[in-house]
Amino acid sequence: MSEKKNVKVLQLLIIVLGISLIGLSFYTYNFYTNSVNSASQLKRQNDLLKSDLQEMQDDYQKLIESNSNLRTNLKTEQERIIILLDSLNAMELDFERYRKYRVQADLLKMEKKRLLKTVDSLTQKNRALLSTIDSTKSQIENQRFVADSILEANAKLNEKIEKASVLQLSGLHTEAVYLKKNRNIYATKKANKAEKIRVCFTVNKNLIVDAGEKTFFIQVINPKNNLMGKKMSKNYKKQILYYSESTNLQYNNEEVDVCILMQAQPKNLLEGRYIVNIFDGPRRLASTSFKLQ
């Protein structure tokens, strides 16, 4: 009776032990499975964290190269990322450390966003400044162009005024003449008949020139390049004017006709080409020539 009881107890213990072993095996399997899954998940998250940090480091490097004004601040943040990456690579990671590094990475992301806003703001200001500079340069160039145009116009106007303020002659005509006993004057082309040289010209109307007495100097040069007439001279600052004859007239800004008879010595009246120049002071106003046979 006692032996049967012991056998039943033993059987019961074996059953309980078997159930316990089954439960322990199930628990051990679940624990192992969860551990493997947790380690795999931690590795994936760790890889993602490293990827985020590496991307931020690359972004900072680009910003450093293109933003010299914020280079110091950007380098500081980049160094913090490098330190965090080195820590992730150097030590064995668990969930506690991962959370700590994840928080630090998130803070670095926030700082990056702040710096990016600063960079964008500076970029917009720089663009606005460059636009203002370009606009200012364009205005300066336009003003310079206008100023140059005005200067050029003034120079041309001054040149015109200067030219207009000088007496102008027209109708210059020169010929050899001789006088008959009746005192009539006759033109001639013969050198052996010529007695005088007649020079006629018109002083044009000019409202800019000052009115008053004007002196004109006539220069006649014979074919041998000798000065004819009185052979007078007048000194000016930069030159000496040699002339054959002079004439004075009262000029009232209106057109005036002038004729001069210049005495010529027979020895100077030669065959060939004669040159006649009219001067107002040192300035030559007109020139012509004639020939005698």
Give the pLDDT score at 107. Answer: 74
Collect all residues with Cβ–Cβ distance below 8 Å to 83 and sequence separation of at least 6: none
Dihedral angle of Cα 243, 245, 251, 257, to the nearest 10 degrees: -120
Whole-angstrom distance, CA of residue 252 vs CA of residue 233? 27
Of residues 11 and 181, more confidently modeled:
181
Q: How confident is the model at residue 220 (pLDDT cuts 50, 70, 90)?
A: very high
First to last CA, the chain: 187
Q: Is the pLDDT of residue 180 over 60?
A: yes
Collect all residues with Cβ–Cβ distance below 8 Å to 70 and sequence separation of at least 6: 63, 115, 118, 119, 122
Q: Is the pLDDT of residue 156 over 90?
A: no
Q: Mean pLDDT, to the nearest integer, of 209-220? A: 93
Give the pLDDT score at 11. Answer: 65
Give the pLDDT score at 20. Answer: 60
Q: What tokens appear for 263 in the block?
A: 């005495």
Give 269's DSSP letter: -
Whole-angstrom distance, CA of residue 192 vs CA of residue 269? 7
Domain boundaries, the chain: 1-165, 169-292
Quick one: which of 193, 199, 165 has its CA closest to 179? 193
Q: Is the pLDDT of residue 202 over 90?
A: yes
Q: How confident is the model at residue 36 (pLDDT cuts 50, 70, 90)?
A: very low
Q: What tokens appear for 36 in the block?
A: 């493997």
Angle among Cα 39, 45, 48 to the nearest 5 degrees reads: 145
Q: What SS3 class is residue 259? A: strand
Q: Mean pLDDT, to the nearest integer, of 171-199? A: 91
Give the mean pLDDT of the chain. 80
CA distances to 136, 139, 141, 152 from 144, in Å = 12, 8, 5, 12
Q: What tokens appear for 254 in the block?
A: 């209106």
Question: Percent of the chain scored above 70 by pLDDT?
Answer: 79
Residue pair 108/79 in contact by the 8 Å Cβ criterion: no
- Least confident range from 7-16, 30-39, 94-103: namely 30-39
Give the pLDDT score at 226. Answer: 93
* DSSP H or E run through 36: helix 2-66
Q: Mean pLDDT, to the nearest integer, of 203-226? A: 92
Give the pLDDT score at 158. Answer: 65
Whole-angstrom distance, CA of residue 181 vs CA of residue 172? 28
Quick one: which of 239, 196, 247, 240 has its CA closest to 217? 247
Q: Mean pLDDT, to the nearest integer, of 130-145? A: 81
Give the pLDDT score at 32. Answer: 43
Of residues 291 and 6, more confidently modeled:
291
Give the pLDDT score at 16. Answer: 62
Question: Percent of the chain scored above 90 by pLDDT?
Answer: 34
- For 153-271, where are the E strands, in sequence order? 169-179, 185-188, 196-203, 212-221, 232-235, 240-243, 245-251, 256-263
Q: How confident is the model at residue 272 (pLDDT cuts 50, 70, 90)?
A: very high
CATH topology of domain 169-292: Immunoglobulin-like (2.60.40)
Whole-angstrom distance, CA of residue 137 vs CA of residue 143? 10
Q: What is the pLDDT of residues 83-99, one digit of tens each?
A: 877 777 766 666 677 67
